[in-house]
Amino acid sequence: MFAVHVSRLGRVPEPDSTKPVLAVDVDGVISLFGFEGPAENAPCKFQLIDGMAHCIAVETGARLQRLLPHYELIWATGWEDRANEYLLLLLGLPALPVLHFGGAARFGSAHWKLEPIGDYAQGRRLAWIDDSLDASCHEWAAARTEPTLLVQTDAAVGLTDAHVDVLIDWSGGHV
Ligand SMILES: [Mg+2]
């Protein structure tokens, strides 16, 4: 029987294990912070989400869409299910598999993502986009058996075209 994980927005397909996994953070990658200057000049569209204003860089949607043919994208963010609930229409993305962290999520850090990402990507190539990669993340990546690429973003800028170019090259084994 074909099993699916049902989110509030619809069906999330079974993992496509023929592609590498791409773990996608939200804060500092899609939802920006720390930029300079007045809010009206912010490089994003402000969205009220659960009563909090988030600066969503809507152009990251087209960048993530470029990555869809090359990777299985998954959400690796403290937003958990809220990423599918709030971001899909803004970014033009299909519902993605969601990692859960059992209350361990802490803004401004990423070490609590290691075990769930590792479990999901076991036996597969993995790329991970995040603004909060620290030494523990790099040690973990270096210790993985499978090829692993960490992509650090600037939280005030988010995911750029240059990141996407590197990720597409790497997905084909060209980096
Ligand atoms: Mg982040």
Measured in Å, residue 52 CA sits from the centre of ligand 1 at 16
Measured in Å, residue 1 CA sits from the centre of ligand 1 at 36
The pLDDT mean for the chain works out to: 89
- CA 75 to CA 100: how far, in whole Å? 9
Measured in Å, residue 148 CA sits from the centre of ligand 1 at 18
- CA 121 to CA 33: how far, in whole Å? 29
| Per-residue tokens: 2 | 């074909």
Chain-centre distance for alpha carbon 132 = 12
9 part of a folded domain? no
Measured in Å, residue 2 CA sits from the centre of ligand 1 at 33
12 part of a folded domain? no
Residue-wise pLDDT for 67-114, tens only, equals 999 999 999 999 999 999 999 999 999 999 999 988 877 878 888 999
145 part of a folded domain? yes
46 part of a folded domain? no
pLDDT of residue 135: 95
Domain count within the chain: 1
Measured in Å, residue 175 CA sits from the centre of ligand 1 at 25
pLDDT of residue 44: 85
pLDDT of residue 174: 60
pLDDT of residue 102: 86
pLDDT of residue 2: 42
8 part of a folded domain? no
Task: Return the CATH number at 110.
Answer: 3.40.50.1000
Residue-wise pLDDT for 7-47, tens only, equals 455 566 666 678 999 999 999 999 999 888 777 777 788 88
Confidence of residue 175 (pLDDT cuts 50, 70, 90): low
pLDDT of residue 28: 96
Q: What is the dihedral of CA 106, 128, 66, 16, to 10 degrees?
A: -100
